[in-house]
Chain A
């Protein structure tokens, strides 16, 4: 549905050339939800704007829903829906006016547009808000309107730039379920950018991690977490049996990074499920009582740290501005 090869964009700022995106390769299959994960300034918005015809790439090429991004802009535009980071509504317009305008700009006549607006308003919980000025909507309502505007013409692929930034946890969860339903019920392909790890984890079938204009990793959330880090396991035994237990654990297959702190053993394995029952059985056979057993799943924050050597929230203002 989305194929990109070597997509790059250079900006000129203060007489210097700044590479915001430096060769991005992407492949998103029909019906997938793919998250584009990276810190602010990593090049997410620039990539999105290139893929949605808003910004011409300095180099590289892409196809959206089978249409060439550079030579068939009209076809690309008909197939895609785009929800920008800051939305795209005017305060002085009413919800219905915005939706009707959008539907009619995609060629629907008045009757069909009104029908479609009713439908999409219902799906996104905007019923009853149609005659309100967009300025009077709450953050969550406004974001659902943005989503409705991106969906009103039934696009086959939807680009969402940081769809839940600035929303409260409840509104975020609400919006996530709407995005999932769009895919599950209408088969829409979703490509969303985010700097929230939990968002990528909760929504995406696959994650592309971008940092400093290049993709540094790509996989399912689960695979990404286990490939890079695996699960952390903590075993606590009576102090006098710790030496023995350490030997047993060291002998289990796939154990990495074993450390001992007094009577607690810490180690990593790719999948904790595969090691827990042999571990418990081995301890049992040697009559070592298990005082405590903890499994810690890695977060994507850990993943990002491992990939780039820094956490996600350290560098909020560095680099090229994403909005450029």
Chain B
């Protein structure tokens, strides 16, 4: 199973790596946020009494990495859509390869891409903006990034397999991703002391909010216990469910 998943993964990754425009554009967005939006947040934070000066970068960087993971996950859905249209997915489905291997192999390139881009953002944040990084923090944020990319890629793939239509998938992405991102507090943390209560409560219904929380927590000097455990529980559960859903959908298209 693992061998086959790796075969499919490598073949898919090779295709993604040949899409140079996507690789460049995928990086530009988070870098722009970091460079163009980061300083503004820094000024805002510096004028908020009682908040340490480094907070803005520590808030923004890990959240941007989650955004990278989400973008790559969604892109994975578009790659699958192209594969379906080209008949390449059916070609895989007539082979005796397990459906779990096929679905995982299809989704995993988004993890690789997110990790590489995540490391670039971390380096940029550390070297240019002086964000302090710890080994534990970096390791944790990268694990979360990988799981987030895999989760969103699996969901995107499962949706694509069910719909098989480009325009419908695009509208679903637009409808779902924007509120999901805003309500996760990627740009501005949604905390009880900063946000109106209703917004905070609403954000607590968004699983991605816990993922962003744990990602931020990994950048603190001391790892806060509650967000870390809660975030870990949420992302591990989500990944498990998403992988299962995707694999079952791959199985069920034969029905």
Contacts and interface: CB of A to CB of B under 8 A. Distances in A.
A156 interface: no
Interface string B63-101: 000000000000000000011001110111111110000
A97 B88 contact: no
A84 B83 CA distance: 13
Contacts of B253: 54
A82 B95 CA distance: 9
B96 A101 contact: no
B15 A77 contact: no
Most chain A beta-carbon contacts within 10 A, residue among B4, B91, B93, B254: B91
B91 A88 contact: yes
Contacts of A104: 7
Given A54-B94, A105-B97, A91 B11 contact: no
Given A55-B254, A89-B86, A92-B19, A84 B11 contact: no
B11 A149 contact: no
B14 A97 contact: yes
B85 to A, nearest CB: 8
Contacts of B86: 86-91
B95 A88 contact: no
Given A54-B90, A84-B87, A88-B90, A101 B7 contact: yes
Contacts, number: 69
B24 interface: no
B83 A90 contact: yes
Interface residues of B, number: 24
Contacts of A52: 94
A106 interface: yes
A254 interface: no
B206 to A, nearest CB: 34
Contact of A92 (B15, B91, B92, B96): B15
A interface, by DSSP: helix, strand, loop or mixed?
loop
Contacts of B14: 92-93, 97
Counting contact residues on chain A (CB < 8 A from B), the size range is 20 to 34
A56 interface: yes
Contacts of A74: 96
Contacts of B19: 92
A82 B90 CA distance: 9
B255 interface: yes
Nearest to A104: B7
Contact of B255 (A56, A85, A106): A56
Nearest to A73: B254
A69 B103 CA distance: 22
Given A74-B96, A77-B95, A105 B88 contact: no
B87 A54 contact: no
A59 B209 CA distance: 47
B94 A105 contact: no
B47 interface: no
Given A84-B91, A89-B88, A101-B11, A56 B254 contact: yes
A272 interface: no
B90 A77 contact: no
Interface string A42-81: 0000000000111110000000000000000110011010
Contacts of B194: none
A105 B87 contact: no
Most chain A beta-carbon contacts within 10 A, residue among B7, B19, B86, B94: B94
B209 to A, nearest CB: 36
B255 A149 contact: no
Contacts of B7: 101, 104-105
Interface of B: 4, 7-8, 11, 14-15, 18-19, 82-83, 86-88, 90-97, 253-255
5 contacts: A55-B254, A82-B94, A92-B19, A105-B8, A105-B95
Given A86-B86, A89-B86, A92-B15, 12 more contacts: A54-B90, A73-B254, A82-B90, A82-B94, A88-B87, A88-B88, A88-B90, A89-B88, A91-B86, A97-B14, A101-B11, A106-B96
